[in-house]
Amino acid sequence: MFRKSKSWTLALTGILTLSIVLAGCGGNNNNEGAASPSASSASPSAAPSDSAASPESAAPSEGIDVSSLEPVELSLYFPGTPPKDEKKVEEKINEYLKTKINATLDMRMLDWGQYDQKMNLYISGREAMDIIFTASWNGHATNVGKGAFLPLNEGLLDQYGQGIKSVVAQSILDGAQINGKNYGVPALKEMAEQGGILYRTDIAEELGLTDRINAVKSPADLIPILEEVKAKKPDWTPLYVKDGENLNSHYMNKFDFFGDTKLEGVVLKDGTDTTIKAEMEYPVYKEYLNIAREMFTKKLVNADAATSQLSPTDALKKGNVFMVVSPLKPGKDAEMAGSANLPGKVGQVGITSITTSTGETTGSMLAISSTSKNPERAMMFIDLLYTDKYLNNLINFGIEGEHYTLNGEVMSDAPGKPNYIAGAAAWQLGNQFLNYIWDTEAPDKWAQFQRFNEGSINSPALGFTFDSEPVKTQVAALKNVQSQYAPGLETGAVDPAKVDEYYNKLKQNGLDDVISEKQKQLDAYLASR
C-alpha cells in the first residue's frame, strides 16, 4: 500500500541505521567511552580523550590546533523558553568549547510564539548573528531568498564539517538544497511525521475517556470527547489550538508546501498527483475549517485561538489544558511530558497517515547567518553537535549529577535537583541519535524511529524545495493576505464562509503567478530526477 522512492528509502534507512549504531557505541552499564564525565569528578576536556571513546565522541576538531585560533563568541538562536540553570550550563559548555575550538557560546532562546516574528526583524535589520535554527515550516526558503543564510557548500562544509558529512547521508544534504546549495544542515531525527493529538492521560482516566480517545480516527471524532471534558471540567480548555498548530496544519491535512508552509500552492503528501493547487481547492481544507468552527462555537477550544502566541508545550504546562494538536513520532508523548513537567501524564494518538516530504527532512536545520563575523568557527560548532556526544547531551540535558543521573545510556531525575531541558530542543540541535534516553522512554526508542521512517508514504514531490526568488514580490503580498485570514479561519475563530473572500484576495495578490512558478520548478525537478 505504501508508495516509496527506492533511493530515498535506502538513504533514510541508511542514515538512521548509522545513527543508531553511533548512538549505541560505548553504551554499557559502566558508561565506558560515553564521553560524558561526571560533573563532580572529571573536567569536560578529559571526556573525549579516552582512546576507547566511541566514534560519536571523537570530535572532528581534534585535528585543529586550538592555540592557533583567536577566541571568539558565537551566538545561537533557537526557539524555546530559557530553562533554569541556563547560565550554569552555558558556563560548562564554554569551558568545554574553549578546549575544542577556542570559542564560547551565547545561547539566545526566544519564546516559541515570538520566534518567527523576532527572527524576521533581526534578519531584516541585518543584526549580527551566528547560528540560527531554521526549518521548512518557519520560512526557510523565503529567508534564503532574502539572503539571510550563507551557502554552506562553498568551503564551509568541506573544510569544517567533515564530521557532519560522515554521519549525514549526501542524499539528505542534497534533499535540503535550494538551487543546488545547502543553507542549513538537517538535524538527524525522525524523517517522517504523522498528525494527531497529545492528551492528559490522568484526566482521560479520571473521566473514563481513554478507550474512546484511542479509537479516534478523524478530527470529527474528537468533538463528543471534548464536549464531555468541557461538561465535567468547566475550568479546563478541552483543546488548545493556535495559528500553525491546528486541524489545518500541514501534518494534519497532509499538504506538501515544498519548503515553506507559509506559502500557498501544495500537493498532497499521501497522494500521487503532482498538479499544484491552492489549499482551499482541496476538500479536506474546507472540511477541517468546518470542524474547527464547530469546536470554536461550542467553546471546545481556547477563545484566543487566532491570536495566542503560547506554544502547545507551554499550554500543557499551564495545567488546565486537556489536549493539543501535534505532529507525532515514536515517544512524542514522553518527550512532551518531560517538557511540560507532566511526567507519565501525556499520551498520543495518531490520526493521519505517516508521510515523508522535504518538509520533514528539512523540518529542523541549523544555518549560519550571512551577518556572522565568524562563519568558520560557527561551522566547527555545528559539526560538534553531530559528532560529540558529551557536548550534544550537555547542551540539551544539562550537567550529569546536577540535572540528571546516568546509568549507561539512560537518564533519570537527579533527586532533589531541577531538570534542565534546553527548550525541548533535542530535535533541533544536530544529531539526536547521540542523545541519552530518559528512563520514562522506550529502551528501543531509536529503533522505533527507524521503523517509523521505513513505514512512511513518500510525497510525490520528495526532495523538491521551492525557490521563491523569481516571484518574491508576489510572495510578500501573499504572506500579508495569509496573515490576515489564515489564523482566524484555521482555528475556527472566523466563519468558514470567509474562505472564498480569502481565496479571491490571494488571487488578486499573485497566487496564480506563485503556483505557476512552483509548478514550473517542480516539473523540472521531477524530469531531472
With respect to residue 516, please indicate whether it lies within any of the assigned structural domains.
no
Q: 479520571: which residue's cell?
A: 206
H or E stretch covering 198: strand 193-200
Q: What is the pLDDT of residue 423?
A: 58
Do 418 and 306 share a structural domain? no
Q: What is the mean pLDDT of residues 255-268?
A: 91
Q: What is the DSSP string of 280-325?
A: GGSHHHHHHHHHHHHHHHTT-B-TTTTT----HHHHHHTS-EEEEE
Domain boundary among 325, 355, 385: 355
- CA distance readout (Å), 243 to 49, 158, 378: 47, 39, 32
Q: What is the pLDDT of residue 424?
A: 63
Domain boundary among 395, 426, 458: 458
With respect to residue 474, please indicate whether it lies within any of the assigned structural domains.
no
Do 308 and 230 share a structural domain? yes
With respect to residue 524, please indicate whether it lies within any of the assigned structural domains.
no
Q: Which of 19-23, 30-34, 255-259 has the highest mean pLDDT?
A: 255-259
DSSP state of 435: -
Do 248 and 99 share a structural domain? no
Task: Identify which of 201, 216, 296 has the alpha carbon closest to the alpha carbon of residue 496.
Answer: 296
Average pLDDT, rounded, for the chain:
86
With respect to residue 208, please indicate whether it lies within any of the assigned structural domains.
yes
Which residues span the domain enclosing 324? Answer: 193-355
Do 202 and 180 share a structural domain? no
On the question of pLDDT at 3 being above 60, the answer is no
Query: Is the CB of residue 254 less than 8 Å from the CB of residue 461?
Result: no
Q: What is the mean pLDDT of residues 8-27?
A: 40
**C-alpha 221: how far from chain center:** 27
Q: For strand 193-200 and strand 346-356, is the pairing parallel, antiparallel, or unpaired?
A: antiparallel
On the question of pLDDT at 9 being above 80, the answer is no
For 311-335, write each residue's pLDDT tens digit.
Answer: 899 999 999 999 999 999 998 998 8
Query: Is the CB of residue 287 less than 8 Å from the CB of residue 467?
Result: no
**Amino acid (1-letter code) at residue 370:** S
Q: From the CB of residue 412, how many other CB atoms can be counted at a distance below 10 Å? A: 12
* 73-110 b/e (C-beta count within 10 Å ≥ 16 → b): ebbbbbbbbebebbeebbebbbebbbbbbbbbbebbbb
Do 212 and 259 share a structural domain? yes
With respect to residue 518, please indicate whether it lies within any of the assigned structural domains.
no
Do 240 and 120 share a structural domain? no
Q: What is the pLDDT of residue 276?
A: 98
Handedness of CA 14, 16, 22, 26 (dihedral sign): negative
Q: What is the mean pLDDT of residues 501-516?
A: 97
Predicted TM-score (pTM) above 0.75: no
On the question of pLDDT at 25 being above 90, the answer is no
**Amino acid (1-letter code) at residue 103:** A
What is the separation, in whole angstroms, between the first and last Cα of the chain? 23
Rounded CA separation 57/368 (Å): 23
With respect to residue 481, please indicate whether it lies within any of the assigned structural domains.
no
Do 114 and 22 share a structural domain? yes
Task: Identify which of 73, 129, 127 has the alpha carbon closest to the alpha carbon of residue 104.
Answer: 73
What's the alpha-carbon Rg for the chain, to the nearest Å?
23
Do 250 and 170 share a structural domain? no
**309 CB-contact burial (10 Å; exposed 0-12 / middle 13-18 / buried 19+):** middle
Q: Which three cell numbers stand for residue 310?
A: 503560547
Do 200 and 347 share a structural domain? yes
Beta pairing partners, 349: 197
On the question of pLDDT at 272 being above 50, the answer is yes
Q: Which three cell numbers stand for residue 407?
A: 546509568
Task: Tell me how long the chain is.
Answer: 529
The dihedral over CA atoms of 476, 479, 485, 486, expressed in degrees to the nearest 10, equals 170
Handedness of CA 187, 193, 195, 201 (dihedral sign): negative
User: Which region among 173-187, 344-358, 365-379, 497-511 has the lowest average model confidence (pLDDT)?
Assistant: 173-187
Q: How many domains does the chain have?
A: 2
* 267-298 b/e (C-beta count within 10 Å ≥ 16 → b): bbbbbeebebbbbbebeebbbbbebbbebbee
Using a pLDDT cut of 90, give the percent of the chain over it.
Answer: 64
On the question of pLDDT at 53 being above 50, the answer is no
Dmax over Cα atoms in the chain, in whole Å? 67
With respect to residue 146, please indicate whether it lies within any of the assigned structural domains.
yes
With respect to residue 520, please indicate whether it lies within any of the assigned structural domains.
no
Q: What is the pLDDT of residue 513?
A: 97
Domain boundary among 303, 324, 355: 355
CATH number of 281's domain: 3.40.190.10
For 394-452, write each residue's pLDDT tens digit.
Answer: 999 999 999 999 999 899 888 877 778 775 678 899 999 899 988 888 899 888 988 88
Do 182 and 197 share a structural domain? no
Q: What is the pLDDT of residue 440?
A: 83
On the question of pLDDT at 17 being above 70, the answer is no
On the question of pLDDT at 151 being above 50, the answer is yes
Do 394 and 286 share a structural domain? no
Do 127 and 111 share a structural domain? yes
For 454-465, write each residue's pLDDT tens digit.
Answer: 889 999 998 888
Q: What is the pLDDT of residue 235?
A: 96
